[in-house]
Amino acid sequence: MQLRTVSVAGGGAGHLRLGDSALSLSCGCSPPRQIELKPYEGAANTVYENAANLACVGSTPPLCVVNCLNFASPVHPEIYWQLGEAVRGMGDMAVAIGAPVVGGNVSLYNESDEFGTRILPTPSIGMAGKGPVLCYTLPTEGGRPLPLQADPSLHWEDP
């Protein structure tokens, strides 16, 4: 991205300068536990949240959505239901905000029979929008700090 990278403080979306405009990009997923319990609402919220990220930086309406659906084996009835409801929720919200789903991929069977484990459902999306260039930010020499939203001990083990 290099010289085309535009940074806007806050907003939750990245930007690439395209002439006098910016292509805004937002990616994300609702918490997997939410998707597990209420897949329709959780997946719809994922689409809505990314549209809101674009709106916060002036990129409305969204141009398109791509998705990545990560689930355990749909052989299990509850996983099959979660997958179907998540797709329905994503689709309904994408239609509601007028953003076509133009691509995606599916990763199924993410589980281990040996250990009796399954991943929680994680339908992730990427969304693009076009809007104004709000400001340019030059990179700082020392980089930017990485904020954590929890106790760091939950993420890393101390040596």
Cross-strand bridge partners of residue 112: 117
Question: The whole model's pTM is what?
Answer: 0.78
Question: Residue 5: is its pLDDT beyond 70?
Answer: no
Residue 155, pLDDT > 80, answer no
Residue 26 DSSP label: E
Q: Return the higher-pLDDT residue of 92 and 12.
A: 92
CB 124 within 8 A of CB 46: yes
**Is residue 141 scored above 90 in pLDDT?**
no
Measured torsion, CA atoms of residues 88, 42, 105, 99, in degrees rounded to the nearest 10: 70
pLDDT of residue 10: 57
Whether 46 contacts 30, CB under 8 Å: yes
| pLDDT per position as a tens digit, 6-46 | 655 556 777 777 878 888 889 988 888 889 999 999 999 99
Q: Is the peptide bond before 31 cis (omega within 30 degrees of 0)?
A: no
Give first-to-last CA distance, the chain, whole Å: 36
User: Beta 122-132 vs 14-18: how paired, if at all?
Assistant: unpaired
**DSSP letter string, 85-154:** HHHHHHHHHHHHHT--EEEEEEE---EETTTTEEPPPEEEEEEEEEEE-----PPPTT------SS-GGG
